Every structure is written in C-alpha cells, then in structure tokens.
Structure 1
Amino acid sequence: MPMFIVHTNVKKGDIPEKFFTEATSLLATELGKPSSFIHVQVCPDQLMTFGGTDEPCANITLHCIGVVCPEKNREMAPKLSEFIESQLGIKKNRFYININDLARPYCIWDGKTFG
C-alpha cells in the first residue's frame, strides 16, 4: 500500500508522462511490494518556496506499511533523490522526502484494515 506523494511547484506540463510508471516500478522494486499496490500522486503548480526562492522544489512523502526503517531509508535515499532530480529537474537540495511507516490497523483498503 505504499503511497508516494509529490507536492511541487513544477508545472503540470513539465511532469514527464513516464514519471508515474517509472516511479511505480522503482518503488515496487525498492519496497518489494506488488506494483498493483503502489499509489503515486503528483500535485503540480503548487505555490511554494524552498530556501526563500521559487526555483523548482518539492515536499515529498512516502507512506508504507513495514519495510521502511532507518537502514532501508538510507539505502533508498540516493535512489529516490536521483529519480526526482532526473525526472522532475529538481535539485536534490531543493526537496525533502519524509518517510512514514504506517501501522497496519490504521490503513484501510477494500473495506478493511491491513491489521
């Protein structure tokens, strides 16, 4: 049930069509989850700044049940950062990625919790 949510000031027209399929593939591989459970959302055209400038920037959240932990997060950090930089043209020092490990009883899908 991983959810990868990108809030960015990058324009909608500048988001590559392949972003969603490639993000899904990367996350499925890194997290060992089926692609059918990966949710990718981009909220473009946001009014936002980073460091006081409106150069391309983002606030990114990855929610996942299990798998993520300090060691896994360190392993994924360069891969996710490179992906965002190469796909969206946002420099690695212009976004944060917040990773949240969700407890199974607090996530509902298909009318029931995962716990």
Structure 2
Amino acid sequence: MKGKRMIAGILLAGILAVTLAGCKNTDNTKEETEKPVITLGSDNYPPYNYLNEDGVPTGIDVELATEAFKRMGYQVEVVQINWEKKKELVKSGEIDCIMGCFFMEGRLDD
C-alpha cells in the first residue's frame, strides 16, 4: 500500500512539474520592443552587406552585427548609406555607427 502511495506521489509531482513548466511566458514581443535601437549604416557590398530581393538589408556583416548587438541588448536597424558621407551621417546622429570598415593604407589620415 505504501508503494502505491509513493508511486502516486511521484507521478503527481511529475505531472505538476510538467504543467508548471508550460506556464512560462514565452512572448518576447514586449521585450524586443523595449530594447534600444541602434542604427547601422553601410553601403552595398555583397556578400557582406546588400539588399535581398525583398529590399531588406542582409549579408554576413548584417547577420554578425545583428547577433552581436542582440547579445548586448539592442535591436538593430541597418540602412544603406552613401559611403562618402559616412562621417557626416555619424556626426549628425542620422546613424549611430558604420559597419564594414577595414584597414587600408591611405586611410590612416581619413
């Protein structure tokens, strides 16, 4: 008789644990909209950054930046910019930063 009660108790505890585990709120929409938005600017430079057939920025740089900023608690907005105006766009606050930068001789003074 004690064995049946023990099995019933363990079974009840298991059912309760599974039921309560399903009660977790998995709605991330509110959480996502509360994250600060950072605007990244880049020009068209496939395969690193380009617009897909739907006109949405995509590419290696976009995916890496989106994941990195997501881990830091930001939402990312990627915009296509005129690369020649990158400094002015950052200074004016139109974009927060540029991506796709790399070191090249001749850019040291730029």
Give yes or no for TM over 0.5: no
TM-score after normalising by structure 2: 0.28
TM-score after normalising by structure 1: 0.27
Higher relative helix content: 2
Larger radius of gyration: 2
